[in-house]
Amino acid sequence: MAKTPENVETAARTAAEETGDEAATAAPAGRQAAAETPRPRGIGLVGWLRWGWRQLTTMRTALILLFLVALGSVPGSILPQRGQAPEKVAEYFEKHKTLAPWLDKLSLFDVFAAPWFAAIYILLFVSLAGCVLPRAVKHYRAMRARPPAAPRNLGRLPQHARHETDASPEEALAEARALLRKRRFRVDAGDGSVAAEKGYLGETGNLLFHLALLALLFALGVGNLFGYRGDILVTEGKTFANSLSHYDQFKPGRWFDTDGLAPFSLALDDFKATYETTEGPNKGQATDYDARMRFRETPDGPEKTYHLKVNHPLSVGGAKVYLLNHGYAPVFTVRDAKGNIAFQDAVPFLPMEQVNYTSEGVIKAPDAEPEQLAFYAVLWPTAVPAKNGDQIESGWPAPLRPVVSIASFKGDVGLDSGTPQSVYKLEGLGKSLKMVKDGRQLLNPGQTFKLPEGAGSITFDGVREWTTLSVNHDPGRMPALIAAILAVAGVVASFMVRRRRVWVRAVAGDDGRTVVEVGGLTLGHPTPEFDEIVAALRGGEERGPDGSGAGETAPDTESKE
């Protein structure tokens, strides 16, 4: 019987088993199971950190974070912010009692100090730094590098020209080097060719824009950390000293030292508001605010005057003082039952509506004897009869005919307990404070209302105006302004300047003349500069070595010759 491969294999295995050869009894290689390859262990912690850093420092991530910063700023421009208008935030809470607490939990009334906004801000700063700084290093190296050598075939470039000249190749290249240097190209001479390049200012402008944006973010961060913002209400005839205790609201930066407040002072002499008088939908709206101020940089410094207006802040003590709002402060004199003056001052009233400035306020006289006195009052700057004829309303925002309505109370005002109180609200109504019977009265300036049962009297002396000032110290303001200017300059440069490369090759032709080839490459659309360079090189050929003019020959005619 013929021996087949299967028979031979079986006989060999039988013989191996008899002799005990284990290697021979093993299955053939083709039938053995493949050995298990080791499973990958993963990139590890360092690898994940590197991957995360690469993702964070991409331009795509930076653009996303920039979009998130813009998106996060939208609530700050729509909703009232505590740092700018705390009274409007309180008003929003009164009108939206269900929605406002939820918005407050998301820090939407203090967006620019919210943790989530700070996180986006810091990530954007890190992303831009990790993206721009390596690019700046590479760009610096590229600017110092030699221009790339001339390609082998200049005819394949987008811009190409060829002509012949009687000058030698060395002379033609020397002329090309001189011309390109005159045009501010960086020139490098090769073997039979000249390479030139310029236009790095465009990429420099692009990097300058991103670096300026980085500096702008840094300046804003410095301002938030080392600056402060405070709001004060100043009545005509009153003075404000830049001290922490004199602020109605004060918001320092995290690293600002309150002991470093500049010792300046302000005094409001007069406030005037101008209103639109022309008939139409804008009638009665304020067109101009003018606050006549006196200020001192230091307690011993010279006194100066300033007209403070909207968008015309006062610079004093390294801070900017802005005019925010205004209102009325009626002046009252309160006498107790013994005839002694228990209170005499201007009391700031808060507007109840912003059209004609109907305002409300409270007067507290804790020094009155034997019982303390308090009053709730409503001011109509220009009192006119309401349409129904039974009530009074304000017909104009200016104080043309001021009238106040007085409601009188006596008892314990609550100031002696030491518990903080709002100056715009009466505490303990109906409990410690009882309303005086027949204690309501309308008063014109100069009139006095004597309370029943000889409890005392209140005199309406007149009306002053108050203004709300915002004092803003931002050490990053000037660096931010410089960064913004540099960013604009960088954008202009990046759009106006393009990268250009020019190569010139000169070789001796068969007829003894020199063949000059010029190639150009421009980032974006070609510019007329290449044609000007070619025309200048041909112009040298026209003049000839001795300065005599020889007619120019078209490139295609020369090549045929």
Structural domain total, the chain: 4
Can you spell out the DSSP letters for 191-260?
SSEEEEEE-HHHHHHHHHHHHHHHHHHHHHHHHHHH-EEEEEEEETT-EEES-GGG-SEEEE-TT--GGG
Residues 518 and 483 grouped into a single domain: no
Residue 393 lies in a domain: yes
Residues 309 and 386 grouped into a single domain: yes
Residue 558 lies in a domain: no
Residues 85 and 185 grouped into a single domain: no
Last residue of one domain, picked from the residues 492, 522, 549: 492
List pLDDT tens digits, range 50-97.
888 888 888 889 889 989 988 988 888 888 887 667 778 888 888 888
Peptide bond into 370 cis (omega under 30): yes
Residues 85 and 213 grouped into a single domain: no
Can you spell out the DSSP letters for 403-437?
EEEEEEEEE--SGGG-----TTS--SBTTTEEEEE
User: Which residues have C-beta within 8 Å of that of residue 132, sequence separation ≥ 6?
Assistant: 207, 210, 211, 214
Residue 293 lies in a domain: yes
Return the H-helix or E-strand segment holding 442: strand 433-443
Residues 349 and 222 grouped into a single domain: no
Residue 112 lies in a domain: yes
Residues 65 and 183 grouped into a single domain: no
User: Which residues have C-beta within 8 Å of that of residue 301, sequence separation ≥ 6?
Assistant: none
65: nearest Cα among 12, 117, 1: 117
Residues 327 and 467 grouped into a single domain: yes
User: Which residues have C-beta within 8 Å of that of residue 107, sequence separation ≥ 6?
Assistant: 113, 114, 115, 116, 117
Angle among Cα 368, 372, 378 to the nearest 5 degrees reads 100
Return the CATH number at 187: 3.30.310.80
Last residue of one domain, picked from the residues 139, 162, 178: 139
498: nearest Cα among 212, 211, 213, 197: 197
304-308 and 433-443 beta bridge pairing = unpaired
Residues 356 and 504 grouped into a single domain: no
Can you spell out the DSSP letters for 313-382?
PEEETTEEEEEEEEEEEEEEEEE-TTS-EEEEEE---EES-TTT--EEEEEEETT-SSSEEEEEEEEETB
Question: What Cα–Cα distance (Å) separates residue 486 from each residue in 198, 213, 216, 492, 494?
Answer: 22, 9, 10, 10, 12
Angle among Cα 514, 515, 518 to the nearest 5 degrees reads 130
pLDDT of residue 223: 87
Can you spell out the DSSP letters for 143-178?
HHSPPPPPPS-GGGSSEEEEEEESS-HHHHHHHHHH
Residue 553 lies in a domain: no
pLDDT of residue 324: 87
Contact 469, 322 (CB under 8 A): yes
Return the H-helix or E-strand segment holding 55: helix 44-56
Host domain of residue 163: 153-199+498-538
Residues 216 and 129 grouped into a single domain: no
Strand pairing partners for 458? Answer: 334, 449
| Rounded Cα–Cα distance for residues 468 and 326 (Å) | 6
Residues 70 and 162 grouped into a single domain: no
| Rounded Cα–Cα distance for residues 31 and 236 (Å) | 104
| Rounded Cα–Cα distance for residues 347 and 226 (Å) | 34
Angle among Cα 111, 112, 114 to the nearest 5 degrees reads 60
Gap between the terminal Cα atoms of the chain:
89
Residues 412 and 346 grouped into a single domain: yes
Return the H-helix or E-strand segment holding 471: strand 457-473
Return the H-helix or E-strand segment holding 126: helix 115-144
Query: Max alpha carbon distance in the chain (Å)?
Result: 147
C-alpha dihedral over 73, 77, 79, 83, to 10 degrees?
90
Residue 6 lies in a domain: no
Residue 216 lies in a domain: yes
Q: Averaged in consecutive runs of 10 residues, what is the pLDDT profile of the chain (561 residues)?
A: 49 50 50 56 80 87 89 88 76 88 89 87 88 88 88 91 91 93 91 90 90 89 88 94 90 86 94 88 87 93 93 92 92 94 95 91 92 94 85 91 95 79 84 90 95 93 94 91 93 89 91 91 85 87 40 33 29
Residues 386 and 444 grouped into a single domain: yes
Burial of 209 (0-12, 13-18, 19+ CB in 10 A): buried
State pTM to two decimals. 0.66
DSSP state, residue 280: S
Residue in this structure with the two tokens 């290689």, named with its chain if needed = 29
Residue 13 lies in a domain: no
User: Which residues have C-beta within 8 Å of that of residue 123, sequence separation ≥ 6?
Assistant: 56, 65
